[in-house]
Amino acid sequence: MSDASSLNLLSLLPEMLVALAGLLVILANAVGRDSADGAHRWISLLGVLSALWFTLNPLATGAAMSGTAVHDGLAMAGNTVILAVLLLLLLGGESYLKSRRIPLAEYHSLSLFAATGMMSLVSAGDLVTVFMGIEVLSISLYCMAALLNEEEGGREAALKYFLTGSFASGFLLFGMALVFGFTGTTNLDAIAHSLTSLDTDNWMLIGGALLMLIGFLFKVSVAPFHNWAPDVYDGSPAIVTAFMSTAAKAAAFTGLARVFVPALGEAADAWIPMLALCAALTMILGNFSALVQDSFKRMLAYSGVAHAGYLLLGILAASSDSAHMASVLFYLLPYALINGVLFLVGAAISRQRSGKNLLDDFKGLAADSPLLAILITVCLLALAGIPPTAGFVGKFYLFMGAVDAGHVGLACLGILTSVVSVYFYLRVIVYAWFHKAPAGSAPWTPLDGGLVLVTGLSALLLLVLGVWPNLWLSITATI
């Protein structure tokens, strides 16, 4: 059992590299001089880049660590999204970190540990690994949400996040215990296998599946379990919000897909009605709440809730035909990139004006910096799902999948609520291009070059993926 072949350590290389980078950051901080702040960034960058390389060019794949980890296409796509976000924040977030005096070593190591948790969740082969992954990523994110305390609300956000998060973990764990009680195993493959021979019309199994689903829906902020998201996203440092609303959500969605579609797929009748209901509620509540927000961060938070609803459509489609999993994975990358860019750039723009992340801060942006206005426009159009961006392609696949799986009503609801969402995305664009900056606002100072470059490249990638979706689809479809 303990021989090297069943461990298959090489397939875990990306996770190990990221974790090692986190450990090295701590070590460098503990033994190095205080002035060696740049080291944290370089270590993180090296770790993330090498992990990304070995994710896209794996030395080994398949089950690892006696089946507690599985490196398949799902893991590869999920890891890529997580590492891409991490890379974006590492390259573009330096000026934000410096300006808010966030402790660098702690920020970098915690984000690497959170990424370790996310990656092990994405490649989990066992319910125990799923839970450990979620806990590692959650604990790290709770602490990261509290890193900023010069502003009121930072600690409140962290506390709210912690309370809801641990509440959700309780549901998740209880559900896992019931599923374990019913099937006698925690291995995802073995669960799927045992369910083919067991009577799935059992209340223990259904209860377990639904409790786990509630836990996951909390983590991905799906209505009616989404109440925490706007407050937490609003109160946390923008760079942490950018991380948790993208990478953590992508990881939780991939984990959800992994647990429910292959493992509990036989019991789909139990959880599909609830998932469909939540998806409908999420799309309606998320989009209509976003309409009335004055704060850019809160608007994006509600738009994130709405997008969780769209992604649930993909999971629903995948439960009837697993080929549709590719559409969920496809959309995760543009979604993560857009939100990462918008939170980062939005914070930088707002700092020049009111500093409170208001929508009004975008007024007159085109006159001050046409480049940034174009960037914001591309990202918001992609979020609204307007061609030729990757957002359009992603939404198209999601809705088509829902239609294929017979959820025509939900797909229609998705399209209708997307139309509603165009209003609040367009409002920012109209502010940027056709409004004048409020009188008495300070003269514009150009943003940090690195930030503009890396976010610009991300926006370009959105356009490229919109025109040639196969670049990324070919990776996500290898499951």
Partner 1 sequence: MENLVFILLSLLAVLGGLGTVSMRNPVHSVLCLLLTMLCLAGHYILLQAPFMAAVQIIVYAGAIIILFLFVIVLLNLRDDVLKRRTLPMGRLYYIPAGLAVMLVLTGLFRAGSNWISGGPAPEGTIEALGMELFTKWVYPFELTGVLLLAAMVGAVAMTRRDKEEG
Partner 2 sequence: MNYLIVFLELLLSMALVVGALAFSRLLAPRPAVQTESRPYECGAELVGNARVRFHAGYYLVALLFLVFDVEAAFLYPWAMAQAQVGLVGLIEIVVFISILLLALVYAWKKRVLEWL
Q: Is 336 helix (H, G, I), strand (E, B) or coil?
A: helix
Residue 27, contacted partner among partner 1, partner 2, none, CB below 5-8 A by kind: partner 2
The counts of H helices and E strands in the chain are 22, 2
Stretch that binds partner 2, among 26-34, 209-217, 235-243, 448-456 (CB under 8 A): 26-34
- Amino acid occupying residue 400: M
Q: Which does 69 bind (CB under 5 to 8 A by kind): partner 2, partner 1, none?
A: partner 1
Per CB under 8 A, does 180 bind partner 1?
yes
Specify the DSSP class assigned to residue 187: B
Q: Is 143 in the site for partner 2 (CB under 8 A)?
A: no
DSSP-assigned states of every residue in 349-384: HHHHTTSS-BGGGGTTHHHH-HHHHHHHHHHHHHHH
Q: Label residue 411 left, alpha or beta by phi (over 0 means left) and psi (-120 to 50 means alpha).
A: alpha
| Residue 51 tokens, joined | 């992990």
Look at the block and give the residue holding tokens 């690497």. 112
By CB under 8 A, residue 23 contacts partner 2: yes
Sites for partner 1 among residues 39-68 (CB under 8 A):
64-68
For residues 411-420, one letter each, b for 16 or more C-beta atoms within 10 angstroms of the residue's C-beta and e for the rest, the string is bebbeebbeb
Query: Which residues between 144 and 163 bind partner 1 (CB under 8 A)?
Result: 144, 146-147, 149, 163
Nearer residue to partner 2 within complex by CB, 26 or 411: 26
Among 174, 172, 179, 171, which Cα is nearest to 205's? Answer: 179
Residue 91: CB atoms within 10 A of its CB come to: 18
Q: Is residue 132 at the binding interface for partner 2, with CB under 8 A as the rule? A: no
Given a contact cutoff of 8 angstroms between Cβ atoms, the answer to whether 82 and 23 are in contact is no
Q: CB of 218: closest distance to partner 1 in angstroms?
A: 8
Q: How many residues bind partner 2 (CB under 8 A)?
A: 7
Applying CB under 8 A, what is the total number of residues that bind partner 1?
62
Please, which residue, 2 or 35, has the CB nearer to partner 2? 2
Among 103-111, 232-240, 397-405, 423-431, which window interacts with partner 1 (CB under 8 A)?
Answer: 103-111
Question: Could you tell me which of 131, 139, 171, 173 has the C-alpha nearest to residue 158?
Answer: 139
Among partner 1, partner 2, none, the one that 68 touches (CB under a kind-dependent 5 to 8 A) is: partner 1
Question: Alpha helix (H) ranges present in 198-324?
Answer: 203-219, 228-235, 238-243, 249-258, 268-291, 296-320
Residue 211 binds: one of partner 1, partner 2, none (C-beta under 5 to 8 A by kind): partner 1
Query: Residue 141 is encoded by which pair of tokens?
Result: 């994110």
Closest distance to partner 2 from the beta carbon of 30 (Å): 4
Binding of partner 2 at residue 26 (CB under 8 A)? Answer: yes
Binding positions for partner 1, rule: CB under 8 A: 1-2, 7, 12, 19, 22-23, 26, 64-69, 103, 106, 109-110, 113-114, 116-117, 120, 126, 128-129, 132-133, 135-136, 139-140, 142-144, 146-147, 149, 163-164, 167, 171, 174, 178, 180-185, 198, 202-204, 206-207, 210-211, 214, 224-225, 227
Query: Which residues form the interface with partner 2 (CB under 8 A)?
Result: 2, 23, 26-27, 29-31
